Amino acid sequence: MSAEVAFRPYQASDEAPVLNLLRLTLGKGRAFERSAAFFRWKHLENPFGRSLMLLANGQEILGLRTFLRWQFRAGGNVVPAVRAVDTATHPGYQRMGIFSRLTTASLEQAKAEGVGFVFNTPNQYSLPGYLKLGWTFVGKTTVFVRPLRLLRIALALAARRPDEATDEGPSDDVTALDHLLAREAALSALLARDDAQLASGIRTARTVPYLRWRYRNAPSLRYSARVIGNGALAAAAIFRRTLRRGLVELSIAELLFDDPGQGRRVVREILTSAPADYAVAHCAWEAPHRRVLMGIGFVPVPRLGPNFTVRPLESDFLGYDPTSPGSWRLSLGDLEVF
């Protein structure tokens, strides 16, 4: 069977059969709809670049290996990376080495293009396969949780509903995010000030175009924003609500500030204006964001978040070790959805 399989790059005419394969193997999506628009947004409209997509082709598309382009900052330098996502092997052709061969070929191409490392958040079923292919398990991420409606939480946990997430929509008008993104100069300045607090680790190279793509342009994902400051921005947060196990979850995807007092203020305003049963966020333990969150009642829950793995392709990371948990300065928005 292996002699009948050819590997080739993705092309535009592959969209429909690739979507069919993804729906067959990964489902239609949970908090998002696995539509053509979502696929194009994710892989073709990304400001970091079009995804590296390699297909295994026989009489039909047998497998897909996708590396989503990403950029990180390490110190004052930008490191190109890719995120391993949307991997699929046709059910009739599994256990034939297609996944490993696609991955090996994709790694070689990424390294030839100067990509520093691959990262992803595999589930418990795909994690062993990645470890066999040379990925390093960095750890299971800590999530910070703020319970808001204790009785509803207790009743929902007792009911043992399935863990299915659906988009509940923003509690504020979506134009709040539009207004934030329209203030490009002020937002860029706030991003720079917030980034300076995270310069001791590896973090996403966030820009206004990135925020617009990630949070405003994503089909079927609706985010809102809260800001402090009419002229210069003192703080801002981007968030969304999802319905999970019958409870409304408020996810703080990005929290931007340089004054901790303003950071606490913007989170408090979200909690009082966006009805939810509990709120979640993520930040590095070493980041000032942790003290802000814990100062207003968020509790760290170790190992509640997704698995985080890395596959280095280069040896020089400017003094940072991407396989060490302490090297990372990620937000919840870096970990969810993809």
- Tallying the residues shown for the chain, one arrives at 338
Cα 228 to Cα 135: distance, rounded to the nearest angstrom: 41
Query: Which amino acid is present at 126?
Result: S
The answer to whether 298 and 271 have CB atoms below 8 angstroms apart is no
Cα 6 to Cα 261: distance, rounded to the nearest angstrom: 57
- Per domain, the residue ranges of the chain are 2-139, 143-304
Q: What is the pLDDT of residue 316?
A: 72
Cα 143 to Cα 242: distance, rounded to the nearest angstrom: 16
CA angle 288, 338, 308 (to 5 degrees): 55
Cα 47 to Cα 56: distance, rounded to the nearest angstrom: 27
Does the domain at 143-304 match CATH 1.10.150? Answer given as no
Q: What is the pLDDT of residue 1?
A: 44
Architecture of the structural domain at 2-139: 3-Layer(aba) Sandwich (3.40)
Do 2-139 and 143-304 come out as alike in CATH topology? yes
pLDDT in tens, the chain (338 residues): 444 789 999 999 999 999 999 999 998 777 788 999 999 999 999 999 999 999 999 888 999 999 999 999 998 899 999 999 999 999 988 888 999 999 999 999 999 999 999 999 999 999 999 999 999 999 999 999 999 999 999 999 888 777 666 666 555 567 899 999 999 999 999 999 999 999 999 999 999 999 999 999 999 899 999 999 988 999 999 999 999 888 999 999 999 999 999 999 999 999 999 899 999 999 999 999 999 999 999 999 998 999 999 999 987 767 889 999 999 999 999 999 98
Q: What is the pLDDT of residue 166?
A: 66
Query: Which amino acid is present at 194?
Result: D
Q: What is the pLDDT of residue 161?
A: 74
Cα 225 to Cα 45: distance, rounded to the nearest angstrom: 22
CA angle 111, 114, 118 (to 5 degrees): 55
